[in-house]
Amino acid sequence: MRKKMRFDINTLFALFAACIMMPPALPAASDTLPKIQESVSPEKLSDGNADSGDAYMLDEFVVTAYRVETQPLDTPVNSTYIGPQKIADSPYTNVAEVIKNYGNLNFRTVTGSPSTGDFGMRGFGENSQTRILVLVDGQKINRADMGAINWLQIPLSQVESVEILRGSQSALYGSSAEAGVIKITTTKPKEDGLHFSAQGIYGSFSTYDASARVTGREGDYFFTANASYFDSEGWRENSESWATSAALSVGCDLDSKNTFVLTGNYTDSHTNYPDKLTWEQYQEDPRKSYSDGIYAYSKDGIYTATLKNNSDIGQGELPIGWNFRDIFWTLGGRSREFQWTGTATPRYNFSVGENAHILVGFDGEWDYIDYKKYYQNTSATFSFADINKYSCAPYLGGDWAPLEWLSFNLVGRVEASKLTVDNTEYLGDSIPPMIDFPLPGGGIVQIPNPNYQNPPAINAANSYDSSMSDCGFAMNFATNVKVSEEASLFFRFDRIYHYPTTDEVAAYHGGGLAQNFNFNLNPEEGENYEIGGKWISGGWSATSSFYLTYLRNEICYDANSQMNVNLSPTQRIGCDLELAYDTKYWGASAMFSAVQARFDGGVYDGKDVPLAPNYYGNVCAYVSPFEWVRLSGRVTFISSQYVGSDFSNSGSRIPAYALLDFQANFRFCDYGSIFLAIENALDKKYISCAYGTGYYPGTGRMLKAGVTIRF
């Protein structure tokens, strides 16, 4: 029997605050209620232009939570859609900033900038980047290891929209979708003719962002070409970053039912990493870095080929994708890692009569890592590893609507994976041909190394060739009730299954793990229960969901055993809420997430999960006194949280904080606009994330100005 759920005062207050932000009671179903446009999102603010009345017409879109196009009120999932107009008008230079601010996700960074970092969702703290699936045009860009996503490889100028699916999506999207999914779609033309846009942004700390995009369509053929450049010295010392990117997408409507699209993206980027600070150093000067020379230089690419079909028998896709990262590190020694992932994810949603569909799909993936660590500061190899991970997952599901206002969804998925690691390490004293020899009178002279061997001698203790296989099952059941043309309610149950990553199992990166290969590490498993509702009426829109997640075998690094271990069971209870009012001249929105993530047994029973704040959110308001002016302000807040790896909750907490941003947009003609923005206007000093006694400050006040030209 499970133990009784625990609540503390902070979480009760957070949940109470969430409840008062709920929309008014949903109206009863009635044929006399006015019909609304089905493709309007109940989860977002306006992204479009004003209509003839006072209300804004929102961006049209379809939700793809079930990997097929579905109307928002018919989909039993809490989702947030960030449309093209909102992205185009934003002051941000990075897709991570857009997701953080418009999607209300907790973002942690060790650099003080959004160029690299991890999102947190649904009470997941450390290694949350391995539990949130990120797709670009359907291609997975999460790494097979614990490496963070390089957000510089996705230039914002290429992005048309972002869809955030909250909560477990394991049955439909696989192991990496334990906490949610972020789906990024790049720009593709929909109308005939050529269109060009360019943007330039300058900001504090010598931040430059420039991009240009051209799209074209002639009959059945279309293309998009994009180029961008980003450069910033960073807020902290030794936090410089830059990136250059180029992308091309070409496609063809083969006939009225089939479309073929090819996309490619290549990015060159560089990121410096400032040192962690003690609490005293942070208080003295949060911008200081006491070490330099720590950086990563990366080359990244994303390539996809997709055949889409939409016919009388149903709709489906045949996507094939490949992405790679070639990265050189100086963090923890000099190393180079080449990773690539190939995927094939065919699926088809067959129509069965007028009220039912059968979904058949398969996700196949091959991850390969070629890792090499160099001896000290030389180009000589100290260790090297070949890692292969193969996974396949057939899934079968369907939906049935026995009544016009009632529908059911059911999906089951079988996961199978095999990991092989071949690691070789040399004895350090056999690598260099020459060594230093101290002279009796002082000084050093180079002499031949008596232990030198070519090839070097193998360190048998840290060399191994091992493999491990896993197999599991995930499923989803959901029901959706349309209580009116303006509102719907949903319930969902998810069985969760999540594989460990390559470097959670194997110690090929070097020291830090007590065993070379951890055969005892089990996959995470659990259940998620969720209820929610969506509503839109006139200028109002709202969504809400309340969830309870049980998880067993949660994986995390344990400093005492120096191993990645399966923790005691954890329990997460929380809510995600959004409420917005939007008109032609003014509007406001509030987004709020509250969660109590705690251990439910074992030595840490009742303790909070580290790096999982109890609540966070944002409140935004805008006014548009003239058609060509829009002024907006945003407050972002986050509660305190325990530092990483503090499972016993015995250390200090990362303090709570709130940030204030302002923005002004001016459309000076039909083809151009400018914006001015102040981020962290009060220059609030805060901690983005912390591990042990090491703290990583967030960015201080930043000013930005930008100009956009479109024709």
Highest mean pLDDT among 272-276, 526-530, 669-673: 526-530
Q: How would residue 169 be classed by pLDDT, with cut points 50, 70 and 90?
A: very high
Cα distance between residue 481 and residue 488, in whole Å: 5
pLDDT mean over 165-194? 93
Instruction: Choose between 576 and 562: higher pLDDT.
Output: 576
Question: pLDDT band at 62, cuts 50/70/90?
Answer: low
Cα separation, 194 vs 192, whole angstroms: 7
| Cα–Cα distance, 458 to 418 (Å, whole number) | 26
- Give the least confident one: 37-51, 278-292, 583-597: 37-51
**How big is the chain, counted in residues?**
711
Report pLDDT for 591. Answer: 97
> Per mean pLDDT, which range of 104-118, 301-315, 423-437, 530-544 is the poorest?
104-118
**At residue 16, does pLDDT exceed 90?**
no
Cβ contact 289:322 at 8 Å: no
Residues 429-452 pLDDT 10s = 999 999 998 888 888 999 999 999
pLDDT of the residue at 585: 93
pLDDT at 25 exceeding the cut of 80: no
pLDDT value of position 18: 39
CB under 8 Å to 125, separation ≥6 — which residues? 597, 609, 610, 611, 612, 641, 644
Termini Cα distance of the chain = 64
Helix (H) / strand (E) containing 304: strand 295-311
Residue 704 near residue 681, CB atoms below 8 Å = no
Whether 148 and 120 have beta carbons less than 8 Å apart is answered as no
pLDDT at 2 over 80: no
Looking at residue 59, its pLDDT comes to 53
Closest CA to 98 of 121, 81, 111: 81
Distance of alpha carbon 80 from the chain centroid = 13
Query: Rounded CA gap, 324 and 98, in Å?
Result: 24
Q: Over pLDDT 70: what percentage of the chain?
A: 91
What's the longest Cα–Cα distance across the chain? 101
Range name among 489-498, 510-519, 543-552, 654-663 with the lowest pLDDT average: 510-519
pLDDT greater than 50 at residue 692: yes
For the stretch 67-105, pLDDT in tens is 777 777 888 999 999 999 889 888 898 899 999 999 999
Question: CB-based contacts of 141: which residues, under 8 Å, 6+ apart?
Answer: 134, 135, 149, 153, 154, 302, 323
Q: Is the pLDDT of residue 152 over 60?
A: yes
In a 3-state reduction of DSSP, which class is residue 85? helix
Residue 299 pLDDT more than 80? Answer: yes
The rounded distance, in Å, linking the Cα atoms of 668 and 228 is 24
Band of pLDDT at residue 195, cut at 50, 70 and 90: very high
Alpha carbon 421 to its chain centroid, in Å, reads: 27
Question: What mean pLDDT is reported for the chain?
Answer: 88
**pLDDT > 90 in the chain, percent:** 75
d(CA 209, CA 155): 10
Span 9-710: which CATH code? Answer: 2.40.170.20
Reference 409, options 491, 492, 478; nearest CA is 478
Window from 20-34, 149-163, 201-215, 441-455 with minimum mean pLDDT: 20-34
Token couple for 21: 């932000």
In three-state secondary structure terms, 647 is coil
Burial class (CB in 10 A: 0-12, 13-18, 19+), 466: middle
Q: What is the pLDDT of residue 39?
A: 34
Each residue's pLDDT tens digit, 345-393: 999 999 998 899 999 999 999 999 999 999 988 999 999 999 999 999 9
**Which of the four pLDDT bands, split at 50, 70 and 90, describes residue 180?**
very high
The amino acid that residue 672 corresponds to is G
- What is d(CA 177, CA 348) in angstroms, rounded to the nearest whole number? 20
Ramachandran bin of 138, using left for φ above 0, alpha for ψ from -120 to 50, beta for the remaining angles:
left
Partnered with residue 133 across adjacent β-strands are 181
Q: What is the pLDDT of residue 85?
A: 86
Q: CA 533, CA 524: separation in Å to the nearest integer?
A: 29
pTM, two decimal places: 0.90
The SS3 assignment for 156 reads helix
3-class SS of residue 289: coil
**Span 216-238, pLDDT tens digits:** 999 999 999 999 999 999 999 99
91: which 2 tokens? 């002051």
Query: What's the rounded Cα separation, in Å, for the pair 487 and 536?
Result: 6
Listing DSSP states for 383-402 in one string gives EEEEEEEEEEEEEEEEEEEE
Amino acid sitting at position 279: W
Burial class (CB in 10 A: 0-12, 13-18, 19+), 24: exposed
Choose among 596, 523, 529: nearest CA to 555: 523
Angstrom distance (rounded) from CA 547 to CA 18 = 13
- Paired with 230 in beta bridges are 209, 243
Segment holding 12, helix H or strand E: helix 9-19
How would you classify the pairing of strands 434-438 and 132-136? Answer: unpaired
Q: How confident is the model at residue 512 (pLDDT cuts 50, 70, 90)?
A: low
Q: Which of 344, 367, 247 is nearest to 302 (CA)?
A: 247
Dihedral over alpha carbons 325, 329, 331, 334 (to 10 degrees): 140
